């Protein structure tokens, strides 16, 4: 191999190495930026607990089928297409969904990038179902199992505790900060003897 080919090969290996580290670090940096600078919203949910063998234990977040009306620039394309929905919060901090737009809104309101679907209920014609960009809350592997047991015991005893996710939103991105059950973070319930 000539010297020039060796240099090109070495440069290629270095580039691949840097890209392997750049991508995960940029994803982490982006999420940390949202957590540090984003505005806090509450999204009502009910957790269940599956396992992702590559990423660990998590609680699946089942949101209460959020829906919104289309905005001025929205024209229907296909199921699950990328869209943007304006959000505000009520006096308790829970999210209210505004209108769905095809392009990033520049009306000064906070927004989230979502997937939009046609509403299945004929009485809600014109409304769109919104699929939020997060559906999992990752936890310590051992605590996630206890969280599932705790939550299922509440449901089996016919007691209900309101559950929600507190998430930060910035520039269309949404990052889950914590899961709250009965006005306390889920970790509180797992530490009670």
Domain locations in the chain as residue ranges: 67-131
pLDDT tens, N- to C-terminus, the chain (193 residues): 677 888 888 888 888 888 888 887 887 888 888 888 888 888 877 655 455 555 556 777 778 778 888 888 877 767 778 999 999 999 988 999 999 998 888 878 899 999 988 877 777 777 888 899 988 887 777 777 777 777 666 655 555 677 888 999 999 999 989 888 888 888 887 775 4
Nearest-10 Cα torsion for 61, 65, 70, 75: 80
**pTM assigned to the model:** 0.70
CA 90 from centroid of its chain's CA atoms: 20
Q: What pLDDT is stored for residue 86 in this prediction?
A: 92
């Amino acid at each position: 191999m000539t010297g020039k080919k060796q240099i090109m090969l070495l440069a290629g290996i270095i580039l691949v190495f840097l890209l392997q580290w750049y991508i995960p670090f940029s994803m982490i940096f982006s999420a940390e930026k949202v957590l540090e600078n984003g505005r806090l919203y509450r999204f009502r949910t009910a957790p269940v607990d599956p396992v992702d063998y590559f990423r660990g234990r998590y609680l699946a977040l089942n949101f209460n089928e959020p829906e919104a009306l289309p905005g001025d620039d929205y024209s229907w394309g296909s199921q699950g297409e990328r869209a943007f929905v304006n959000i505000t919060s009520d006096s308790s901090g829970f999210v209210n969904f505004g209108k769905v737009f095809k392009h990033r809104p520049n009306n000064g309101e906070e927004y989230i990038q979502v997937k939009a679907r046609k509403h299945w209920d004929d009485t809600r014609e014109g409304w769109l179902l919104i699929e939020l960009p997060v559906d999992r809350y990752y936890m310590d592997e051992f605590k996630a199992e206890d969280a599932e047991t705790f939550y299922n015991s509440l449901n089996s005893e016919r007691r209900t505790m309101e559950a929600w996710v507190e998430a930060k939103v910035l520039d269309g991105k949404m990052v889950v900060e914590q899961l709250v059950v009965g006005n306390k973070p889920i970790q509180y319930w797992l530490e009670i003897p």
